[in-house]
Amino acid sequence: MSKIETVLTDIHSARLHPLVPQELSCNLLKKGMTKALAVKSGTTSSLGVYAIAKKVDIKFSLFGMQASDTRQRYMALWNHDYDLESDSRGLVENGKFISYDIAFPMYEQLARHHTNPEGSNLHDRMDLYRLHAEQHIRQLYEQVNEKPDNIIHVTSTGYIDPNPVSTVMSAKQWHDIDITNFYHHACNASIPAIRTANALLTASLVCDSEQPKKRIDLVSTEMFSLHMRLADDRPLNVGLMSTFSDSFLRCSIRTYHDVLENRMGGLKILAFRNMTFPGTSAIAMWSISDPCFYFDLNPLEYFKLIKTKVRHFVDIFYAENGMDFRSEKDHTTFVIQGSSQLTLKQIAEELELSENQISLSRETLLENGYLSSGAIPFMCKRVIEEEKIPSGTKVFCLGYAQGITMSGMLLEKV
């Protein structure tokens, strides 16, 4: 039996609003956190609120993502009526909170009536997720006439049934698409999800149990802005709120023959590897809770483990596929799902990569914020479109998340 060659192709990202400058987003988050903590503690005096604001400002300066590392982010729930004039307004006058007429999703009561510092409950947040996810998915499929055989829906931020993909496909009268949920794999979801889509396509072409498939789509809908906790001033939460960016993408897995026949660009799939490091399950956890999902992390242990394990993981990956990483790396393009510029630097040092080899990963984080599971497909789209990267170039993708899991994927530009 001849080997079935497959390609990651047709990658699209949906954004319905402009990206938000990092300085402006952090200023609003600091103001919102200050008010939430003040309301929670019953503080209304100017001096009391000022003291809280100073503490919040220090935490953001120490633990928040700075504008020098991320210039802007995509935030689906951002209110674009909030501008520099709004940003200059205070919180308290004459011992009373100032009301803001601008709508703030999830924190309407806090902004206008100075109550409910915890924000909307999980049920209301999931309603927002459905609304915004459907809007973005509709845009992703607005110009698509060819129906996929399967869709794998990837998310770690919104669980609702029927899910937004099902709702949009039903509206398009595409009732016979098999939709598979790929949930709660967090930042490291993209490579395992692509591997699953690849398996669905290849299995259909060699098995008699179902009709051969032509195209498997993946749709990613990550809305981390939905899970902001303004009343939580832990350093970890400050870092999360100021780092994550929302992402909505779709891509397809097709056969290599089909891609060539239709003159499509893409990345041929060569190899996968996934590993869960033993004894690490308690280091990082992303759990469902109310009013929003909850992330618990031991950052020192987590990033130390990523740093110390990455070279061994990559060396084994290449060895299992009959290659030597050291001799291959200088001819390879790297797509690294880095959550900070420091993490990217540490991974580059462990893998002995040049600054130029991680420039795509650095630039993606700088210009878009941390895209979580959307980061790798987003960068793969850039690789496909970049004319300076010639056909035949190997592309190595690396992801990681709680578990603690690490995933690798080797591709080749078509």
Q: Given pLDDT bands bounded at 50, 70 and 90, which one contains residue 264?
A: very high
Can you list the pairs that 102-105 forms with residues at least 24 positions away whose Cβ atoms lie under 8 Å?
103/79, 104/32, 104/79, 105/77, 105/79
- Report the alpha-carbon distance of residue 336 to residue 353 in Å, rounded: 12
| Selected residue with higher pLDDT from 63 and 89 | 63
Q: Please give the average per-residue pLDDT across 359-375, as a whole number.
A: 97
Helix or strand (DSSP H, E) at 342 = helix 341-351
Asked whether the beta carbons of 216 and 197 are under 8 A apart, the reply is yes
The per-residue pLDDT for 227 is 96
Find the range with the poorest average confidence among 62-71, 99-108, 253-262, 366-375.
99-108
- Give me the residues paired with residue 285 across strands: 296
Number of helices and strands in the chain (H, E): 14, 15
**Domain segments of the chain as ranges:** 267-413
- Report the alpha-carbon distance of residue 165 to residue 171 in Å, rounded: 10
The per-residue pLDDT for 93 is 86
- Report the alpha-carbon distance of residue 197 to residue 155 in Å, rounded: 15
pLDDT averaged over the chain? 95
Backbone angles phi, psi at 177, to 5 degrees: -85, 135
Q: Given pLDDT bands bounded at 50, 70 and 90, which one contains residue 210?
A: confident
Q: Given pLDDT bands bounded at 50, 70 and 90, which one contains residue 1?
A: low
Asked whether the beta carbons of 254 and 16 are under 8 A apart, the reply is no
Q: Which tens digits make up the pLDDT trace of 43-56?
A: 999 999 999 999 99
- Report the alpha-carbon distance of residue 229 to residue 116 in Å, rounded: 12
Q: Given pLDDT bands bounded at 50, 70 and 90, which one contains residue 74?
A: very high
Give yes or no for residue 393 having a pLDDT over 60: yes
The per-residue pLDDT for 3 is 85
Strand pairing of 150-155 and 178-183? parallel
Helix or strand (DSSP H, E) at 395 = strand 394-401
Backbone angles phi, psi at 202, to 5 degrees: -65, -40
Percentage of residues of the chain with pLDDT beyond 70? 100
Q: Which tens digits make up the pLDDT trace of 132-188?
A: 999 999 999 999 999 999 999 999 999 999 999 999 999 999 999 999 999 999 899
Strand pairing of 405-413 and 394-401? antiparallel
Asked whether the beta carbons of 350 and 310 are under 8 A apart, the reply is yes
Residue in 140, 142, 156, 146 with CA at minimum distance from that of residue 190: 156
SS3 266: strand
Q: Which tens digits make up the pLDDT trace of 225-250?
A: 999 999 999 999 999 999 999 999 99
Q: Which tens digits make up the pLDDT trace of 338-365?
A: 999 999 999 999 999 999 999 999 999 9
> Taking the model in full, what pTM does it have?
0.95
Angle at 153 between CA 149 and CA 155, to 5 degrees: 170
Residue in 332, 329, 350 with CA at minimum distance from that of residue 400: 350
Kindly state which CATH superfamily the domain 267-413 is placed in.
Answer: Thiolase/Chalcone synthase (3.40.47.10)
- Report the alpha-carbon distance of residue 380 to residue 30 in Å, rounded: 34
| Selected residue with higher pLDDT from 402 and 208 | 402
Asked whether the beta carbons of 140 and 132 are under 8 A apart, the reply is no
Give yes or no for residue 104 having a pLDDT over 90: no
SS3 179: strand
